[in-house]
């Protein structure tokens, strides 16, 4: 599976920009923090408020990124909830199973008024929150790659404070 294409701003920050391979028709939206969607959970809003100013300084956030950024933050919030549940319940949970057996092993074989023994079994299984936490973490990493927020992509980024947008538009292709 090929690597997804990176936006020019991210290539410039990483130092991997090549003018020959540049898409001259690439959209260049203004760097601006979009409004936080009201649908986000509390934990997702906390992440939104934490990460958007950092992305703005790097020039990696715009109004058009709102949905993708909201998805990242919502997944992050879900991951936090899953981790809280795991710390409360543990990674393994005990499940009580009740099995009702009739004469032939099925409740339909019982005669009315006949006493049928019920058997309780205890079993252990993996807490479903483990899978939820793992899936959210994987998806968060995928979205974080889109914005250059993973540890691997951070080693490639040398960020400069945002400058004059008009100069940057012309200069970005003549480095």
Looking at residue 132, its pLDDT comes to 96
Q: Which of 93, 105, 102, 101 is nearest to 120 (CA)?
A: 101
Partner residues linked to 94 by β-bridges: 124
3-state secondary structure 57-113: HHCCCCHHHHHHHHHHHHHHHHHHHHHHHHHHHCCEEEEEEEEECCCCCCHHHCCCC
Q: Which of 30-44, 118-132, 149-163 has the lowest mean pLDDT?
A: 149-163
Looking at residue 117, its pLDDT comes to 60
With vertex at residue 85, the alpha carbon angle to CA 81 and CA 89, rounded to the nearest 5 degrees, is: 175
Looking at residue 44, its pLDDT comes to 96
* pLDDT surpassing 90 at residue 109: no
Task: Express each pLDDT in 122-151 by its tens digit.
Answer: 888 999 999 999 999 999 988 888 777 876
Which of 68-72, 162-166, 171-175 reaches the highest mean pLDDT? 68-72
Task: Express each pLDDT in 55-69 by its tens digit.
Answer: 898 888 889 889 999
């Amino acid at each position: 599976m090929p690597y997804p294409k990176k936006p020019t701003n991210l290539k410039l920050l990483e130092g991997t920009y090549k003018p020959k391979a540049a898409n001259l028709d690439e959209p260049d939206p203004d760097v601006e923090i979009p409004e936080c969607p009201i649908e986000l959970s509390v934990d997702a809003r906390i992440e939104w408020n934490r990460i958007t100013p950092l992305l703005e300084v790097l020039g990696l956030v715009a109004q058009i990124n709102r949905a993708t950024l909201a998805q990242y933050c919502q997944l992050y919030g879900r991951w936090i909830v899953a981790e809280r549940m795991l710390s409360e319940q543990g990674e393994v949970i005990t499940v009580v199973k009740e099995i009702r057996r009739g004469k032939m092993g099925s409740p339909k074989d019982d005669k009315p008024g006949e006493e049928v023994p019920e058997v309780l079994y205890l079993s252990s299984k993996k807490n479903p929150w483990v899978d939820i936490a793992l899936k959210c973490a994987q998806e968060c990493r995928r979205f974080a790659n889109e914005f250059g927020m993973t540890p691997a992509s951070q080693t490639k980024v040398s960020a400069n404070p945002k400058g004059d947008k008009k100069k940057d538009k012309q200069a970005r292709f003549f480095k």
